[in-house]
């Protein structure tokens, strides 16, 4: 296991301490062991070293004393800053973005997840090619690959560009398949529920408890990156709903990942209800809620009805219960996914939301012109059947987040 030094710069953020604790969890998730943590206070980043030359020398000394293999910054570094730091520290330096990408790469299991992770990695790498290929910038004999007059760096950039184009084309094809699946569910009026929330909030544990799905669960960040959908029978009135377990969010989620995983995250965008799972025992739960809502806004899912699911009440010494807003709609449910406390209240909340959704749709149809256009009828006929016989089976909707 790599010995790591963690570096955090306090620019006045209220959650600086919690962010550093999260960095240690991320490092362990990636396979590194934090040995020492070095902090600093600055008004703004240093253009050359992010932390300033004096602090860089302090980091170098600590890394030597503690026999550190890698230095991990809790911030996004520019390519120049990363290159300067590696020369000054004489060690490998990575930033928060690279760390998260690396975790995602390790955890991605499905074909789609691997494609999305590779796309995000290549987009990140494209800005940092000079780091790995400085010694190859002069002309060399890249037989069969190099174009006329290209340096090695230009060749690498061209090859990365071609690979990015191919990955985007394959992900576009998968996105169309997801749209076909959603049309099938819409045709059958299947109510769709997506679990969202901060990583390690207990989404997969809740998903398993509700659906008996057996999704991998561990007390670590990004334990599972695959999005899995299952049918969940509620009662005779509502019938079954489709519930999806999505990837967890985190502070400063790399934009490359959000963009690359947009096709899979659209399962969230098209949900009828979001169950926003919150770690009720966390001291920074309100900040985590806001981080999740920021990502939901970024992917265009902030308009979807949402119920806060206050999980881990057994660890927070809270009791099962339900809270309603000023419109008498359920806004928060207190549960423990591990012990099962309050799950009956959560099921009732989903039933109530599905019933209200069905009533609103019926009212809308009553005031709308009947019938479909010929184009829409053809599209619906082409959609695959979503039959009750498949209840409990995994619906092919994979989502992964990952780095290298």
- Look up the pTM and report it: 0.71
Integer Cα distance of 79 and 97 in angstroms: 12
Band of residue 266 on the pLDDT scale cut at 50, 70, 90: low
The per-residue pLDDT for range 2-58, each reduced to its tens digit, is: 999 999 999 988 888 888 998 998 999 888 999 999 999 999 999 999 999 999 999
388 vs 184, 240, 393, CA distance in Å?
A: 12, 9, 10
Q: Are 258 and 295 in contact (CB under 8 A)?
A: yes
The per-residue pLDDT for range 268-290, each reduced to its tens digit, is: 778 899 999 999 999 889 989 99
Please compute the mean of the pLDDT values over residues 160-186 and round it to a whole number: 79
The per-residue pLDDT for range 386-400, each reduced to its tens digit, is: 333 443 443 333 333
85 vs 20, 81, 93, CA distance in Å?
A: 20, 6, 7
Q: What's the burial of 340, exposed, middle or buried (CB within 10 Å: 0-12/13-18/19+)?
A: exposed
Q: Residue 127's pLDDT is what? A: 74
Q: Residue 18's pLDDT is what? A: 86
Q: What's the burial of 204, exposed, middle or buried (CB within 10 Å: 0-12/13-18/19+)?
A: buried
Tokens of 43: 């008004």
Band of residue 177 on the pLDDT scale cut at 50, 70, 90: confident
66 vs 80, 81, 310, 352, CA distance in Å?
A: 26, 23, 41, 57
Q: Residue 182's pLDDT is what? A: 63
Band of residue 381 on the pLDDT scale cut at 50, 70, 90: very low
């Amino acid at each position: 296991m790599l010995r790591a030094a963690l570096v955090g710069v306090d620019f006045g953020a209220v959650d600086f301490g919690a962010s550093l604790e999260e960095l240690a969890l991320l490092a362990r998730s990636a396979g590194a062991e934090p040995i020492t943590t070095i902090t600093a206070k600055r008004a703004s980043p240093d253009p050359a070293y992010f932390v300033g030359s004096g602090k860089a020398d302090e980091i170098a000394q600590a890394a030597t004393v503690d026999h550190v293999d890698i230095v991990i910054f809790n911030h996004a570094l520019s390519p120049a800053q990363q290159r300067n730091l590696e020369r000054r520290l004489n060690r490998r330096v990575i930033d928060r973005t690279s760390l998260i990408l690396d975790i995602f790469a390790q955890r991605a299991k499905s074909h789609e997840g691997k494609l999305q992770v590779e796309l995000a990695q290549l987009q990140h790498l494209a800005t940092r090619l000079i780091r790995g290929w400085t010694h190859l910038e002069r002309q060399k004999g890249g037989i069969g690959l190099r174009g006329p007059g290209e340096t090695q760096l230009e060749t690498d950039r061209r090859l990365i560009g071609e690979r990015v184009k191919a990955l985007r084309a394959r992900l576009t094809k998968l996105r169309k398949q997801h749209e076909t699946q959603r049309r099938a569910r819409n045709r059958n009026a299947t109510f769709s529920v997506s679990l969202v929330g901060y990583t390690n909030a207990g989404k997969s544990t809740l998903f398993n408890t509700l659906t008996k799905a057996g999704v991998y669960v561990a007390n670590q960040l990004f334990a599972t990156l695959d999005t899995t959908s299952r049918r969940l029978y509620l009662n005779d009135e509502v019938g079954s709903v489709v519930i999806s377990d999505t990837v967890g969010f985190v502070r400063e989620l790399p934009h490359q990942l959000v963009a690359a995983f947009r096709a899979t995250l659209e399962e969230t965008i098209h949900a009828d209800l979001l169950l926003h799972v919150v770690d009720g025992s966390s001291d920074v739960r309100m900040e985590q809620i806001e981080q999740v809502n920021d990502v939901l806004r970024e992917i265009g899912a902030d308009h979807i009805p949402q119920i806060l699911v206050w999980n881990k009440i057994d660890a927070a010494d809270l009791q099962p219960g339900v809270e309603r807003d000023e419109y008498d709609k359920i806004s928060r449910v207190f549960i423990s996914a591990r012990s099962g406390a309050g799950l009956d209240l959560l099921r009732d909340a989903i039933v109530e939301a599905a019933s209200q959704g069905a009533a609103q749709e019926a009212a809308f149809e009553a005031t709308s012109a009947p019938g479909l256009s010929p184009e829409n009828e053809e599209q619906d006929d082409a959609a695959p059947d979503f039959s009750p016989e498949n209840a409990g089976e995994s619906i092919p909707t994979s989502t992964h987040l990952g780095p290298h």
